Amino acid sequence: MSTDFERRLIAHAAARYKVAGPYAWHFARGKLGGDPVFVAMLRDGLLPSPTTILDLGCGEALLASWLLAAAELHARGDWPADWPAPPRIEAYRGIELQPRDVARARCALPAVFRVERGDIRDAALGKAGLVVILDVLHYIALADQRRVLERVRACLQPGGTLLLRVGDAAGGLPFRISLAVDALVTRLRGQSLGRLQCRPLSAWLAELSALGFAVRAVPMSAGTPFANHLLIAHPGDPGRNAA
Ligand SMILES: C[S@@+](CC[C@H](N)C(=O)[O-])C[C@H]1O[C@@H](n2cnc3c(N)ncnc32)[C@H](O)[C@@H]1O
């Protein structure tokens, strides 16, 4: 159940998409309001500050709009006393495969928020303090997942963070529900779902650890019927894993 403040923040962040058409606006409202990851990132202080963000498979770049709205409400003094200040974003760059999402994001966001059409399997990543990958990697083959994660590790600046949201393939019915919703949303977006490459949470943790990340998993399905986890990973100290 969202608080009054959360509802204001959701409405403010989603309103930016009205210029991109009714679908983009309603999708933004539904996703920002229904997905616990957006509130958790701010309420629980999961984002470093200041930081430069690389958002891989960014869709409509809702994360950018969310953080922009947070900064605006905070500047107005409209901010919960028990939440940390929102992060200061020095740069945001999103990479997204679907031209329609890229167009919606560009329409909604100020030009300093860069959203590029590209494939995360081969796009140049540059350098970033924070890499965010929310619900994307399971769309690409296992070998490509590994290559992307290797390149993410190389692109992170010292002290950098990777936030990777994944479904737990060992999560039983909640995981199967998330697959069904994924298929429905993909169809509504006019796309087709290829073969999904999902893994149990333990395998995601092992993969990140093998690539030299220290990683912890935070359940990220509150208020939904899914089996999602946010993996918070830092290069180095690969022995410090905890589920
Ligand atoms: C479930 S959506 C999540 C969007 C966004 N991360 C969010 O949380 O709002 C997954 C996105 O990943 C994008 N995607 C899938 N494979 C990709 C690839 N190889 N390169 C870039 N984007 C990709 C899809 O087009 C889609 O927009």
- Sorting pLDDT into bands at 50, 70 and 90, what band is 76? very high
Share of the chain above pLDDT 90, in %: 90
> Average pLDDT for residues 98-105, to the nearest whole number?
96
Which of 62, 97, 198 for mutating ligand 1's site (highest number of atoms within 8 Å of CB)?
A: 97
Q: At what angle do helices 22-34 and 4-15 cross, to 10 degrees?
A: 150
- Average of pLDDT values for 86-114? 97
Nearest residue (by CA) to ligand 1, atom 12, is 57
Kindly tell me if the per-residue pLDDT of 240 is higher than 80: no
Cβ of 61 below 6 Å from ligand 1: no
Which one has a higher pLDDT value, 241 or 204? 204
* 36 within ligand 1 shell (Cβ under 6 A): no
Residue 241: per-residue pLDDT: 45
Specify the pTM.
0.95
The model's pLDDT over 22-59, given as tens digits with 9 standing for 90+, comes to 999 999 999 999 999 999 999 999 999 999 999 999 99
Closest CA to ligand 1's atom 19: 119
Q: Is 57 in the pocket of ligand 1 (CB under 6 A)?
A: yes
Q: Which atom of ligand 1 is nearest to the CA of 121?
A: 19
Tokens linked to 127? 């350098």
pLDDT of 86 strictly over 90: yes
Going by CA atoms, what residue is nearest to atom 4 of ligand 1?
59
> Would you state the structure tokens that stand for residue 209, as one six-digit string?
């650890």
Q: Is 20 in the pocket of ligand 1 (CB under 6 A)?
A: no
Cα of 93 vs centre of ligand 1, distance in Å, is 14
The reported pLDDT for the residue numbered 55 is 99
Continuous segment of H or E residues that includes residue 73: helix 62-75
pLDDT of residue 186: 84
* Per-residue confidence band for 190, with pLDDT thresholds at 50, 70 and 90: confident
pLDDT of residue 221: 94
Distance 120 CA to ligand 1 centre (A): 9
Mean pLDDT of 76-90: 98
What share of the chain in percent tops pLDDT 70? 97
pLDDT grade for 238, boundaries at 50, 70 and 90: very low
Q: Is 101 in the pocket of ligand 1 (CB under 6 A)?
A: yes
**8: its two tokens:** 């204001």
Q: How many CB atoms lie within 10 A of CB 2?
A: 15
Q: Write down the mean pLDDT value for the chain.
A: 95
Nearest CA residue ID for atom 11, ligand 1: 57
Please report which confidence band the pLDDT of residue 228 belongs to, taking 50, 70 and 90 as the band edges.
Answer: very high
Question: Of all atoms in ligand 1, which is nearest to the CA of residue 123?
Answer: 20
**Considering only 6-15, 139-148, 149-158, 231-240, which range has the smallest mean pLDDT?**
231-240
Confidence class for position 170, pLDDT limits 50, 70, 90: very high
Asked which of 61-75, 105-119, 179-193 is least confident by mean pLDDT, the reply is 179-193
- Which residue ranges form the domains of the chain, and what is each CATH number? 4-117+124-223 (3.40.50.150)
